């Protein structure tokens, strides 16, 4: 019997916070991780989770990556993901999936670190491929499949950049990850009734005190607690996990309270290193 775990590696946003790495989730099937996004601190969280025996896998197992969009809080950890596990002994190339532009971004990172790579390949017993990635652009539909998981993408609405939501279907769980997005018509139908819905969110209550220009931005590209509660009522996930939370000073318990005001299903606010 397979066992699927959702590991929260980073629950943060572009606003650096003391106790949150920026975006990174792992869906681990039988202890093999499929990483979604790689913001700052995500590789360090894998080291930390392994050291604390929260996970059995380690950085060298990070060889499958799905990127929701190219904002820095979801991608600034990519150099870390390419090079640190390589130093730890990773031999496999990473299979990376994401929006158009991901390949350019990774090619530029490889260029930027060419001095490091050349020295390391010359002076150390390093694998010739462990720092490389094979990048494929994602379109809506089935984007990846193997004996453990099928991964489906749906176009998200995150302003003027290509962005995706992902659905992971494993032998024992279905997990839907919104990525950064405002509510998209068709999302609920596409999501089905997952065991876990991991959804970005901002506080509707705190939104009122934001400057008008930021209100315009957030309502155009993100999802409020009111909107998410409506979505959850339609989807009825086994568990709703709030992540990429824009608290704007609010306590997590109060953010959950905003959802509970109109949604009765199970809901939690994610913290780094939570496992579901
Ligand atoms: Zn973000
Ligand atoms: Zn974003």
Indicate the domain borders of the chain: 4-269
C-alpha of residue 208 to centroid of ligand 2, in Å: 21
Phi, psi dihedrals of residue 187, rounded to the nearest 5°: -65, -45
Query: Are 116 and 156 in contact, with CB atoms under 8 Å apart?
Result: no
Distance CA 90, CA 263 (A): 44
Q: How far is CA 81 from the centre of its chain?
A: 14
C-alpha of residue 22 to centroid of ligand 1, in Å: 8
What local confidence, expressed as pLDDT, does residue 190 receive? 98
Query: Are 196 and 276 in contact, with CB atoms under 8 Å apart?
Result: yes
Please report where in the chains the tokens 């820095």 appear, as a residue: 72
Fold annotation for 4-269: Metallo-beta-lactamase; Chain A (3.60.15)
Distance CA 147, CA 139 (A): 21
Average pLDDT per consecutive 10 residues, the chain (276 residues; last block may be shorter): 94 93 98 98 98 98 98 98 97 98 98 96 88 98 98 97 98 98 97 98 95 94 98 98 96 98 98 98
C-alpha of residue 192 to centroid of ligand 1, in Å: 24
Ligand closest to Cα of 39 equals 1
What local confidence, expressed as pLDDT, does residue 39 receive? 98
C-alpha of residue 31 to centroid of ligand 2, in Å: 28
- State if pTM tops 0.75: yes
- Paired tokens of 257: 């309270």
Q: How many CB atoms lie within 10 A of CB 155?
A: 18
């Amino acid at each position: 019997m397979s066992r699927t775990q959702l590991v929260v590696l980073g629950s943060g946003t572009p606003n650096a916070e003391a106790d949150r790495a920026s975006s990174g989730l792992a869906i681990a099937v039988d202890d093999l991780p499929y990483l979604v996004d790689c913001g700052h601190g995500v590789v360090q969280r894998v080291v930390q989770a392994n050291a604390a025996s929260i996970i059995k896998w380690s950085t060298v197992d990070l060889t499958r990556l799905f990127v929701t969009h190219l904002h820095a809080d979801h991608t600034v950890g990519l150099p870390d993901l390419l090079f640190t596990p390589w130093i730890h002994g990773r031999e496999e190339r990473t299979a990376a999936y994401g929006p158009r532009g991901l390949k350019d971004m990774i090619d530029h990172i490889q260029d930027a670190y060419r001095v490091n790579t050349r020295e390391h390949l010359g002076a150390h017993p390093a694998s010739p491929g462990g720092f490389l990635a094979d990048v494929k652009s994602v379109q809506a539909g089935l984007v990846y499949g193997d004996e453990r998981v099928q991964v489906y993408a749906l176009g998200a609405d995150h302003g003027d950049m290509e962005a995706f939501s992902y659905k992971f279907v494993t032998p024992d769980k279905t997990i839907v990850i919104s990525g950064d997005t405002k509510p998209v018509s068709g999302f609920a139908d596409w999501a089905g009734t997952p065991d876990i819905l991991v959804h970005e969110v901002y506080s509707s209550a705190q939104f009122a005190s934001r400057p008008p220009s930021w209100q315009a931005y957030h309502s155009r590209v993100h999802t409020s607690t009111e909107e998410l509660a409506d979505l959850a009522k339609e989807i009825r996930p086994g568990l709703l996990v709030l992540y990429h939370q824009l608290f704007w000073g609010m306590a997590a318990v109060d953010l959950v309270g905003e959802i509970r005001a109109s949604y009765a299903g199970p809901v939690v606010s994610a913290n780094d290193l939570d496992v579901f």
